[in-house]
Amino acid sequence: MVIATAVRLATRMADLGTESAFEVLARARQLEREGHHIIHMEIGEPDFPTPQHVKDAANDALAADETKYGPSAGIMPCREAVAAHVSETHGVPITPEQVVITPGAKPPIFYATLALVDEGDEVLLPDPGFPIYESVVAFVGGRPISVPLSEANEFRFEVAELERRITSRTKMIVLNSPQNPTGSVLTAEDVAGIANLAREHDLWVISDEIYSRLLFTGDAPSILSEPGMAERTVLVDGFSKAYSMTGWRLGYGVMPEDVAEAMAQLQNNCSSCTTTFVQHAGIAALHGPQDSVDEMVAAFRSRRDLVVGRLNEMPGVHCLSPHGAFYVFPRVEVPGLTSKEIADYLLERSGVAILAGTAFGAAGEGYLRLSIATATEQLEVGLDRIAQGLAELRAGQRL
Ligand SMILES: Cc1ncc(COP(=O)(O)O)c(C=O)c1O
């Protein structure tokens, strides 16, 4: 007989958060097992296959027995490919020694925070923003400081708002452009202003550019390209979104060499290294044809237009057109209900899985996040269900 005992976890576990997209996905899957039909607009995962030449490269690497431990910082050809790519896209010389290859883009966020943030250090974070930033800052004993992003400023950081929150304990700013969940993109002026603050106040920057290839208009200036910023920036990017490789787990960080050594040491202690044959697939993704990325962006652009257009026709809904990534972030008002209550009703009663804006921070109250990384036909059904569900809620129906 097994006797259940309450496990006393380490105190620090109380500070660790989670990404609620995975929780909503789990609930949606449970509803599906119970026989309900669900439209998935919760998870940030492209509905396109990984390009064939990338899969071929992984198969070739497997056939060549590239199946053993590799160096903790990544295999040299992969570090070289990333260094060349980032040097070209950012216009700054990057050496392979500045690159650490990781299982996805989440690890370099975690490692950089572990390596740079001390107990009590303050970190300025976008709110709404990717929830993992706040979670890991709190986990390492730092203080997450929310900087609200307003719809009036198209959900971009306001330099004055950032500056107002800088204290003698501020250690780092986290940028994410194009942004999850709002799809906002920082302008060249924003980036220059933030770089000024970072230099003036001796701050580190994590620049999470995982959506850098998913842009609908113009470009997404990077703080890494600003004068003097390569010495104080950890660039985070990866293959999950641009090459539809979420399950492969492949990402990277680019940073000053001594921080890269610390990050490699953290990885050595944690996962030892990133899967070797997967790194060969990453090299093929960077060196091979890029048409799959262009095709995906074109599909997301037309879906964005469809979804934003339909949402703006619904009573009580207002939605900006995002400049990048694959999310839309409408303001949705139903008197007396929170975003979470609206999102729960839409999942449980209308069969459409989306996220409450508050899954990304307190400033997300009043908003919902819809992923458009779902086939157009599915999106159309999802939008019909959202319109119907919101009409029911406005008529007074509740869960
Ligand atoms: C802003 C942001 N950063 C990082 C990640 C993590 O990417 P990966 O799946 O490569 O770890 C995500 C995934 O949703 C994201 O939205």
22-44 pLDDT, tens digit each: 999 999 999 999 999 999 999 88
Q: Cα separations (Å) of 185 from 7, 37, 89, 145, 325?
A: 44, 34, 16, 21, 9
pTM of the model: 0.97
- Tokens representing 376 are 């157009």
Pocket test for ligand 1, best of 42, 106, 127, 179 (most atoms within 8 A of CB): 106
Which ranges of 213-330 would DSSP assign to H, the alpha helix? 257-270, 276-287, 291-313
- Per-residue pLDDT, averaged over 318-346, amounts to 97
Alpha-carbon distance of 239 to 225, in angstroms, equals: 21
Under the banding of pLDDT at 50, 70 and 90, the label for residue 20 is confident
Torsion angle (degrees, nearest 10) of CA 76, 77, 79, 81: 160
User: What is the percentage of the chain residues whose pLDDT exceeds 90?
Assistant: 96
The amino acid at 47: D
Please give the pLDDT value at position 6: 84
- For residue 129, the ligand 1 atom closest to its alpha carbon is 1
Burial 273-298, CB ≥16 within 10 A → b, else e: bbbbbbbbbbbbbbebeeebbeebbe
- Provide residues with CB under 6 Å of ligand 1: 44, 104-106, 130, 176, 180, 208, 210, 238, 240, 246, 251
**Closest ligand 1 atom, residue 249 Cα:** 10
CA distance 79 to 357: 36
CA of 297 to the centre of ligand 1 (A): 17
Enter the DSSP assignment of 180. Answer: T
Cα dihedral value 110, 73, 246, 373, nearest 10: 70
**Domains by residue range for the chain, with CATH:** 11-49+292-394 (3.90.1150.10), 68-287 (3.40.640.10)
Mean pLDDT of the chain: 97
For tokens 């500070």, name the residue.
15
CB atoms within 10 A of CB 88: 10
